[in-house]
Amino acid sequence: MRKNQCGLFFSVIVLLLLVSGCNMNLKDDEIQIPEIVKSVDFDEVQWYARRASAAYNTEDEIKAAFPDTVRVQQVGNTEVQYFLELDEANKLQVISVRGTANLKNVQEDVEYIKSKNEKLDIYVHSGFDEDAFKIYNDILPYLKKDYPVYLTGHSLGAAIAALLMIYLHEDGYTIKKMINFGQPKFTNKSGVQRYHTLPLTRIVNENDLVPLLPPETLLSALHGIYKHMGDEVILLKEVEYIYLEQHQAGLQKVEGFWDNIDHESVQEHFIANYLTNIDSKLSDAIQVPYADREDYLDQHDD
């Protein structure tokens, strides 16, 4: 991620801290998460991560890396960018959405009051939903109804892409798979229950705080606290990872941000660090229990 994006993302965190105004403790001793064995294909994860990363690039750079790209577009006044690949040989289409890129994106990250989406009949993060609907209207003329859809995104772009997935699902498109990186939450428990069968997997760096956003406050709890959709793969350093099914991924207890926000946690959110962490698992990857993850973190710190 470019330097100005790094600084802007840090602004997102700081502003959210000011709104939440409480301390955070991850109460692992109170969490009982049974291990479910799941082999993760990290070559496939890398395939998605390369596209989530490329969404930050210029149109020329995107088309050079992905020749099947038929549209690169910034939508609305927030300049949220996406690109669409149309693979005629394999009869599939891929949508990739860019994460936080400017100050207007920062404002959307902070404005996390839910609103009722009448089309979807769920409560959603109003800022994410506004941009998702803009992309939805822009991209429809370029999609093929008989081609399956693959989606990805990072950070803000991941949440927008997840909402776009739901819009397309409601329109009858076949959603083949979605893998997101560092995604914040965008709906409540009822929204998760309504769309829990959609094929979303979230990839999370161990020290990335953004997947914990929006924080639980009186304001964000209106219409029900935010919950995550999809299975979760937590990336530890080197070869280890943790797999949590959708019903397990929401069991971590979070009470704020002040105690855990630091330079390392901000760096962990950058898509470049996701790519590095994925690369370390391409030749060998070992699943470890959630309850034992601190042991592996300590080993790598020694």
State pLDDT tens for residues 42-70: 999 999 999 999 999 999 999 999 999 99
Model confidence at 211: pLDDT above 50: yes
- In the 8-state DSSP scheme, what is residue 215? P
Backbone angles phi, psi at 104, to 5 degrees: -70, -35
175: its two tokens: 């959603």
Residues 6+ apart with CB under 8 A from 79: 101, 102, 104, 105
Would the pTM count as exceeding 0.85?
Answer: no
pLDDT band for position 20 (cuts 50, 70, 90): very low
Domain 3-301 fold is: Rossmann fold (3.40.50)
SS3 assignment, position 32: coil
Mean pLDDT (the chain, rounded):
80
pLDDT in tens, 97-137: 998 754 444 444 555 566 777 788 788 887 888 889 999 99
Rounded (to 5) percent helix, strand, coil in the chain: 40, 20, 35
Q: Which residues sit opposite 116 in a β-bridge?
A: 123
